[in-house]
Structure 1
Amino acid sequence: MHVDAALGGFILPFARKLGYDIPQFDFAVEGVTSINLDTHKYGYAPKGSSVILYRDPELFSYQVYTVGDWTGGIYFTPTTLGSKPGFTIAATWAAMLYLGEEGYMKITKEILETGKYIVNETRKISELKILGDPLWIIAISSDSINPYVIMDYMAQRNWHLIGLINPPGFHIALTYRHTLPGVKESFINDLRESIKDAIEKGQPTTGMAPIYGATAFLPKDQLDLILKYVIDWLYNPWE
């Protein structure tokens, strides 16, 4: 079994050390054979850096690609990418060395405290509801207002939120920048103002609300086909 810890791999272990009740998700779970985690997210390394871990070194051999009879010479690579910049590896090593366990613990503590504040304050807003019991990736929905309209008004206030479907909503993934003084308070204030705009003004003329709203009524196969057409259009040099 593979565990995708791309987002939480550099948060959950430190959260557990800080005393948070984090369920086992790593090699402590019987049957887990591999784990991936992105150093370019909460490892604070450059984009393009990531890690995959195997319980058994033998499993790594299935990742390696080799061509021994290529006319251009012997070719072998341990990753999907062939040519890779050494800068990314060096910068990742430097970031981890600079922060160390103490640095990651400090960052995690501040992010989770910010998450607790936002969750508690959001629950005081009658028009909104928190989905699940989040720590730092906070999903928000509403039974009375189109959440995508709220998301669009938040975008006008320079908040980059990600839309969700099934159920409709949006989420914010807190980072170290959100722990800066005044940021979490601004988020809650802007959330209240965006709700007010959604009630008084309705749907804005631009934004993602129509797109996310349409996905709720489209069968999955049709939606998948539309998304493929979008990719084709983006990569078509003749249009």
Structure 2
Amino acid sequence: MTDEEKLAVEARREIERQELMQQKRVAMETNKIIKEQQEKERLRKMEISQKAAEEEERYRKEMEKIEAEERKHNTQWEADWGSREKSKSPSPVPSPSPPSRSPPPSKPRSSAAEANTDEDEEKEGREGFQKYLDDFDPYSMFTPEQIEGKDVRLLRIKKEGPLDLAVEGGIDSPLGKLVVSAIYEGGSADKHGGVVAGDEIMAVNGKILTDMTLTEGQNSLSQAWNRGGDWIDLVIAVSPPKEYEDEVTFF
């Protein structure tokens, strides 16, 4: 080989070496970028996992706080009103409002009260009778949200024959609550005179009915009525507008 040929071979080899070095550098840079991306992904997953754990711990503490408040509320409620019945699906009991009976036509309470003044006075004179219990505090049974804007009253109804009070609605209905649909003439609710069609039934004998379906509410009323004792306590939210102080009807 001549000197020129040798120089050409050496130059070609140098070029090949430079190309190999360049490829190596590119490969190393690419590998570095991939490792950086993998590390970022690992850190991102760790951060997500840590946040999930923190959120779960926060939720657990919040639930413990809510359960503690609920236990405190239940303890206070039971101290004031006795043991709350837990069953939401009582065995079938005859409804307190027979479906075969049709409700009587609406009667103006005020005019009926004027026509039965003597009878009202006789009723008020009965021993132990109070149309509404004056010392009832609705906040001892319900939350402020449940009774906001409502005129809540406690009635003590004497058991004189059937209750004869029909209800409609329920928590799963468009009404969203239990509402008196009719008072049958001659029944205990009619004789008492403190509840009329349109009033909301909120509790009976200390049992809250605001979250019950129609069937559950009817069963609770029937059970309370058929249980021992001469009276039942009925908590209602007055259906506005009514002037209850002057509206009493007895038949």
Short-chain TM bin: under 0.3
Point out the structure with max Rg over C-alpha.
2
> TM-score if structure 1 supplies the norm length?
0.22
> TM-score if structure 2 supplies the norm length?
0.21
